[in-house]
């Protein structure tokens, strides 16, 4: 082999995987086992003491999942990754490793509705506060940070508003204040955007969406950028103070630039328990092999659908950063120049009732709460995913009464457009 650095598509197929050492199986097998036999008592002791890497129990590590973790870390340009049961589990473990009761995070307000719920409700019972700020205004993040702020949280490409966040501007504020920037990169995927290159410290994904890509398995991942100094401030004791259960080991000291991924695994995943199943790791690994092809096709078709909708007389507005003239087009050109992704929103004339009528009349599109499937998906957020929010929160999150969201699939784009055309004519 030459010392060429493999390209993204090569990594999407090969990173983290090699033929199975015991059988020669070319595809990473599904290691559908709960536990792993120790070589001997000393081996067991070194595994439990974190002195050796190896498998004990599938809640904490599994070889199929390890291949997935290594692959995603390579695609995002991180030092290590931890795969878990869902995107929400990834977010929970990230903040569990950073926050203690009374601490807070500053979060941009353009987020997936489920994340807004998770942070507004469940995080409260951990004693964690969320200070919401305007995702499109980097300075507003600086204004919200106080002495108990332990992280900033944003989405690179925000769901469902079609907003591209100015990652570098927000990363500069985080760096200046000595706190890590956590970026949810679910909608963009590392094919379109690599937040660590723009200053993010931690990346999270719902693997359920574009990474898996086929709408068949739940998963989440945490990628450690290896960039943040967990010991400098004394504010991240899970990483910077001795751990009694590991004979006084200090995780940051022992594991250096991948200590955060280790902390999420050996403290968060160990104790909170949201492990991904090996079967789901296998399905998501397989999905990732075609990520570059799929994301390019999703983006190209979404742009054509956005152009069609912009010219339609029953459509009030279209929000898609890949569209020329869109307010976020220049940020899209900077952060995700290969395309604007699959997800777009538009306003149908006639408000709430028109939105309901549209989703009731589609035939090819599936009316459901998901994105990132091979199939084209449609939803009216105000009556579904965002219905728990107040009207004010709905509008702030880009989910007002007239908003319809599409996740443009991989069917022939002419068929996708024809279905929207017939459904709009019924509104």
Ligand X SMILES: *Cc1c(COP(=O)(O)O)cnc(C)c1O
Closest separation between CB of residue 309 and ligand X, Å?
Answer: 21
| Residue ranges in contact with ligand X by CB under 6 A | 86-88, 112, 114-115, 155, 159, 184, 186-187, 206, 208-209, 218, 220, 371
Closest separation between CB of residue 426 and ligand X, Å?
Answer: 29
Q: If you write DSSP's letter for every residue of 141-206 in order, what string do you get? A: HHHH--TTEEEEEEESEETTTTEEP-HHHHHHHHHHHT--EEEE-TTTHHHH--GGGGT-SEEEEE
* Residue closer to ligand X (CB basis): 50 or 339: 339
Closest separation between CB of residue 222 and ligand X, Å?
Answer: 12
* Residue closer to ligand X (CB basis): 198 or 252: 198
- Angle subtended at Cα 79 by Cα 74 and Cα 85, rounded to the nearest 5 degrees: 75
Closest separation between CB of residue 253 and ligand X, Å?
Answer: 32
Q: What is the distance between the alpha carbons of residues 402 and 193, in angstroms, rounded to a whole number? A: 29
* Residue closer to ligand X (CB basis): 331 or 371: 371
Contact 407, 206 (CB under 8 A): no
* Residue closer to ligand X (CB basis): 80 or 377: 377
Token pair of 63 as six digits? 């070889």
Closest separation between CB of residue 145 and ligand X, Å?
Answer: 23
Q: What is the distance between the alpha carbons of residues 368 and 376, in angstroms, rounded to a whole number? A: 10
Q: What is the distance between the alpha carbons of residues 183 and 55, in angstroms, rounded to a whole number? A: 29
* Residue closer to ligand X (CB basis): 184 or 201: 184
Strand 149-155 relative to strand 181-184, pairing: parallel
Report the residue closest to ligand X, judged by CB. Answer: 87
* Residue closer to ligand X (CB basis): 188 or 323: 188
CA 164 from centre of chain: 14
Q: What is the distance between the alpha carbons of residues 402 and 346, in angstroms, rounded to a whole number? A: 8
Q: What is the distance between the alpha carbons of residues 164 and 338, in angstroms, rounded to a whole number? A: 14
Closest separation between CB of residue 55 and ligand X, Å?
Answer: 24
């Amino acid at each position: 082999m030459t010392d060429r650095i493999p390209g993204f598509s090569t990594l999407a197929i090969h990173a983290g995987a090699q033929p199975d050492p015991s059988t020669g199986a070319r595809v990473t097998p599904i290691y559908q086992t709960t536990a792993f036999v120790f070589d001997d008592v000393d081996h067991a002791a070194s595994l439990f003491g974190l002195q050796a890497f190896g498998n004990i129990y599938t809640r904490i590590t599994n070889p199929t999942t390890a291949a997935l973790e290594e692959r995603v870390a390579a695609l995002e340009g991180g030092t290590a990754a931890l795969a878990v049961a869902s995107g929400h589990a990834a977010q929970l473990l990230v903040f569990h490793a950073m926050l203690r009761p009374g601490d807070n995070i500053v979060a941009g307000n353009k987020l997936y509705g489920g994340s807004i719920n998770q942070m507004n409700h469940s995080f409260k019972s951990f004693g964690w506060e969320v200070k919401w700020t305007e995702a499109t205004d980097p300075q507003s993040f600086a204004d919200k940070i106080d002495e108990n702020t332990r992280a900033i949280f944003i989405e690179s490409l925000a769901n469902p508003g079609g907003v591209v966040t100015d990652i570098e501007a927000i990363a500069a504020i985080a760096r200046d204040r000595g706190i890590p920037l956590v970026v949810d990169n679910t909608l963009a995927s590392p094919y379109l955007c690599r937040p660590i290159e723009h200053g993010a410290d931690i990346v999270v994904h719902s693997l359920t969406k574009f990474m898996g890509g086929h709408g068949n398995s739940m998963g989440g991942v945490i990628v450690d950028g290896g960039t943040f100094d967990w010991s400098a401030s004394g504010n991240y004791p899970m990483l910077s103070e001795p751990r009694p259960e590991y004979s006084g080991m200090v995780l940051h000291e022992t594991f250096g630039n991948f200590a955060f991924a280790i902390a999420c695994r050996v403290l968060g995943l160990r104790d909170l328990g949201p492990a991904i199943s090996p079967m789901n790791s296998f399905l998501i690994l397989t999905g990732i092999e075609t990520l570059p092809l799929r994301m390019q096709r999703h983006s190209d078709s979404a742009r054509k659908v956005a152009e069609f909708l912009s010219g339609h007389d029953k459509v009030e507005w279209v929000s898609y950063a890949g569209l020329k003239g869109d307010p976020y087009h220049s940020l899209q050109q900077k952060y995700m120049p290969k395309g604007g992704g699959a997800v777009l929103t538009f306003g149908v004339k006639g408000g709430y009732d028109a939105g309901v009528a549209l989703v009731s009349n589609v035939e090819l599109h599936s009316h459901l709460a998901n994105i990132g499937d091979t199939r084209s998906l449609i939803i009216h957020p105000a009556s579904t995913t965002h219905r728990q929010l107040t009207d004010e929160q709905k509008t702030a999150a880009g989910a007002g009464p007239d908003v319809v969201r599409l996740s443009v699939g991989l069917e022939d784009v002419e068929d996708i457009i024809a279905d929207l055309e017939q459904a709009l004519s019924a509104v």
